């Protein structure tokens, strides 16, 4: 079996870059995408904003403290979706093996490219040029022989980066890599590893697989493999989603049950549109409610046959904890459909377009 050639493409500060591209007045200035309410968080930050320590998921209030002249612009998800779709088309010009991870990143297997050079490095550089040429946006790309290494490589030289990890260089590269830069090692895991005197890949490599499982559970097997450059996961061109849903957070707490029901109807509508777009009908619906004190509850109901839209809406409304809502107030509502109907040949078909 030939060694695979994997590219990981990651758009640099995607949402914020689109805003700066479309509105010249924002260029070169610290900008974030997100809401301006007391509970808002940063969805994306420009590189100018990142110089102030601002990053995605940061509370907006804190971001404004760190940069008083910060520009805040609301999201335009329909625009980001359209741009992402066009970028996906560029990927598919080179390979059909494309695995989107989100709107702004994807894995590509170019072991046998559809056109151009057989070199994964040259293909990655060409894709970066095409994205700039057609969309006026910059991307970073990592290249290696598996997904784990390609993902790490794409983060090594941002923004507008390119980084190649050759098979013969992988072992030394991983031994010298800070453990916090390993994909899949979050902040809490990094702290735990530091307590075990694991600071770099070479420190992790000293532990047996059994010892890592003992310290970290099943994910210990993953750590044992990847520090040795082992990652056999293929590029998956489609994902079988386990759930489809929607949720909304509100700027002010809602105590009026009639208003809550109106808001929930909107959420259900979005959930149903998404389920229809995926040709999936579920036999389980779940309601999610977060109260003003941040306590979150979920309530589910399952029936023998897939829900119709009317049945799903009726069931979710009946699951609403009316008394608690009127006492505590609601700050978030969510609706999810799971336990999908498997007999696809009996479901109505519609054209599916790869994202």
To 10 degrees, the CA torsion angle through 155, 156, 161, 166?
Answer: -110
Residue 204 sits at the vertex; the CA angle it makes with 202 and 210, to the nearest 5 degrees, is 140
Q: How far apart are CA 92 and CA 278, in angstroms?
A: 21
Q: How far apart are CA 306 and CA 15, in angstroms?
A: 36
Task: Please provide residue 118's backbone torsions phi and psi, each rounded to the nearest 5 degrees.
Answer: -75, -5
Distances (CA, A) of 54 to 112, 154, 189, 242: 40, 21, 23, 33
To 10 degrees, the CA torsion angle through 219, 224, 227, 228?
Answer: -140
Q: Beta strand pairing status for 31-34 and 162-164?
A: unpaired
Q: Give 259's Cβ-side CA count (13 Å radius).
A: 12
Count of positions (residues) in the chain: 355
Which residue reads 């100018």 in tokens? 48
Cα 119 versus chain centre, distance: 28
Q: Which residues are catalytic?
A: 105
Helix (H) or strand (E) holding 42: strand 42-45
**b/e map of 220-249 (b: 16 or more CB within 10 Å)?**
bebbbebbebebeeebeeeeeeeebbbeee
Sheet holding 162-164, edge to edge: 98-102, 105-109, 6-11, 139-144, 162-164
Q: How far apart are CA 328 and CA 152, in angstroms?
A: 44
């Amino acid at each position: 079996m030939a060694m695979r050639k994997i590219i990981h493409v990651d758009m640099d500060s995607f949402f914020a870059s689109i805003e700066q591209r479309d509105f010249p007045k924002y260029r070169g200035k610290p900008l974030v995408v997100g809401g301006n309410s007391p509970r808002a968080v940063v969805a994306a930050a420009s590189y100018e904003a990142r110089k102030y320590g601002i990053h995605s998921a940061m509370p907006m209030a804190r971001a404004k403290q760190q940069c008083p002249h910060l520009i805040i612009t609301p999201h335009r998800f329909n625009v980001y979706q359209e741009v992402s779709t066009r970028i996906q088309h560029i990927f598919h010009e080179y390979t059909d093996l494309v695995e989107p991870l989100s709107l702004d990143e994807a894995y590509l297997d170019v072991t046998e490219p559809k056109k151009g050079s057989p070199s994964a490095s040259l293909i990655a550089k060409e894709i970066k040029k095409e994205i700039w040429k057609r969309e006026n946006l910059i991307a970073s790309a990592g290249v290696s022989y598996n997904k784990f290494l390609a993902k790490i490589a794409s983060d090594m030289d941002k923004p507008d980066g390119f980084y190649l990890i050759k098979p013969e260089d992988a072992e030394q590269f991983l031994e010298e890599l800070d453990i916090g830069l390993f994909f899949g090692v979050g902040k809490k895991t990094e702290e735990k590893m530091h307590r075990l005197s694991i600071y770099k890949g070479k420190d992790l490599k000293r532990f047996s697989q059994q010892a890592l499982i003992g310290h970290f559970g099943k994910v210990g097997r993953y750590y044992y493999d990847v520090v040795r450059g082992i990652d056999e996961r293929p590029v998956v061109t489609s994902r079988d989603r386990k759930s489809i849903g929607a949720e909304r957070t509100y700027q002010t707490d809602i105590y009026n049950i009639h208003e809550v029901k109106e808001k929930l109807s909107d959420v259900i509508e979005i959930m149903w549109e998404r389920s229809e777009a995926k040709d999936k009908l579920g036999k389980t619906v779940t309601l999610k409610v977060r109260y003003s004190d941040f306590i979150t509850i979920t309530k589910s109901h399952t029936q023998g046959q897939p829900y119709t839209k009317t049945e799903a809406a009726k069931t979710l409304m009946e699951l609403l904890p009316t008394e608690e809502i009127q006492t505590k107030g609601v700050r978030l509502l969510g609706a999810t459909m799971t336990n999908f109907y498997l007999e696809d040949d009996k479901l109505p078909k519609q054209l599916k377009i790869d994202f």
